[in-house]
């Protein structure tokens, strides 16, 4: 099973990916997690990516394409994978299509987890109020930035994968279990 989870930040891609890992026995491939690990370990990649990730912008296509191509060659990706947070631009989607042709494999589905941007921001503001402090405001600002980046650069992938006949949309505002059920139905149905 080869899947892409598409959706704005905070929609639940990571949560659903972890559940699907258990259900299908295939790895989650999160470019955000890989970048965060590199940043924490202060590797050359991490040092290059830190400021970009911190302000909510996208790391260059060349960097993330390289990360994904290498990761897809690992043995654990042979039976399949769940891409979480990649692709995020049309150029990344095109690069992925090429990689998959080269590796001789095909995507099964692209799951769009739909979520209302206003509700996502509201959740973060409420969390900020509960915890208090200035840092939470920074988070809200960065989240708004990431939502804008999503609208401008990632949302066009919905049309891209609709054209490829791969897109399945689910309502990400439902409870976690219901979203999982909808994803499984979209994949298996
Ligand atoms: P995520 O955990 O998927 O929300 O990613 C966190 C941050 O990592 C993003 O805001 C970007 O700065 C960076 N990032 C993750 N995946 C990508 C990608 N496919 N292309 C560019 N930047 C990415």
Q: What is the pLDDT of residues 25-49, one digit of tens each?
A: 999 999 999 999 999 999 999 999 9
**Own/partner long-range contacts of 127-132 (Cβ < 8 Å, ≥24 apart):** none
pLDDT at 132: 64
If one counts every other C-beta atom within 10 angstroms of the C-beta of residue 46, the result is 17
pLDDT at 17: 97
Decide if 55 is catalytic: no
The segments of the chain whose pLDDT lies below 70 read: 128, 131-138
For the chain, what is the radius of gyration of the CA atoms?
16
List the catalytic residue out of 2, 13, 71, 168.
13
pLDDT at 141: 86
80 annotated to a ligand binding site: no
Q: Which residues contact 103 (CB under 8 A, 6 or more apart)?
A: 72, 73
pLDDT at 119: 87
Q: Which atom of ligand 1 is nearest to the CA of 30?
A: 3
Decide if 13 is catalytic: yes
pLDDT at 123: 75
pLDDT at 35: 95
For the chain, the farthest-separated pair of C-alpha atoms sits apart, in whole angstroms, at 51
pLDDT at 98: 98
Q: Tell how far the Cα of 189 is from the centroid of ligand 1, in angstroms.
A: 30
CA distance 31 to 182: 24
**Phi, psi for 177 (deg, rounded to 5):** -65, -40
pLDDT at 10: 85
**Phi, psi for 111 (deg, rounded to 5):** -95, 115
Decide if 127 is catalytic: yes
pLDDT at 154: 98
Pocket test for ligand 1, best of 59, 147, 150 (most atoms within 8 A of CB): 59
pLDDT at 180: 98
> Any bridge partners for residue 110, and if so which?
4, 167
**Phi, psi for 153 (deg, rounded to 5):** -110, -30
CA distance 114 to 84: 14
- CA dist 39 to 10, 18, 34, Å? 21, 22, 9
135 annotated to a ligand binding site: yes
pLDDT at 137: 58
CATH for 2-115+156-188 is 3.40.50.300
């Amino acid at each position: 099973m080869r899947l892409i989870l598409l959706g704005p930040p905070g929609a639940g891609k990571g949560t659903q990916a972890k559940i699907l890992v258990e259900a299908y026995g295939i790895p989650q491939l999160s470019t955000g997690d890989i970048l965060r690990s590199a940043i924490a370990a202060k590797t050359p990649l991490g040092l290059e990516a830190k400021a970009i990730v911190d302000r909510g912008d996208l790391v260059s296509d060349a960097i993330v394409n390289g990360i994904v191509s290498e990761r897809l060659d690992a043995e654990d990706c042979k039976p399949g994978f769940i891409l979480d947070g990649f692709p995020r631009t049309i150029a990344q989607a095109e690069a992925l299509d090429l990689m998959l042709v080269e590796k001789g494999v095909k995507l099964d589905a692209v799951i769009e987890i739909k979520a209302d941007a206003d509700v996502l921001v509201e959740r973060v503001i409420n969390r900020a109020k509960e915890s208090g402090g200035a840092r939470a405001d920074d988070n809200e600002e960065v989240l708004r930035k990431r939502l804008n980046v999503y609208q401008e650069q990632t949302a066009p992938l919905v049309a891209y994968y609709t054209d490829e006949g791969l897109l399945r949309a689910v309502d990400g505002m439902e409870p976690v279990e219901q979203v999982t059920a909808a994803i499984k139905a979209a994949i298996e149905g």
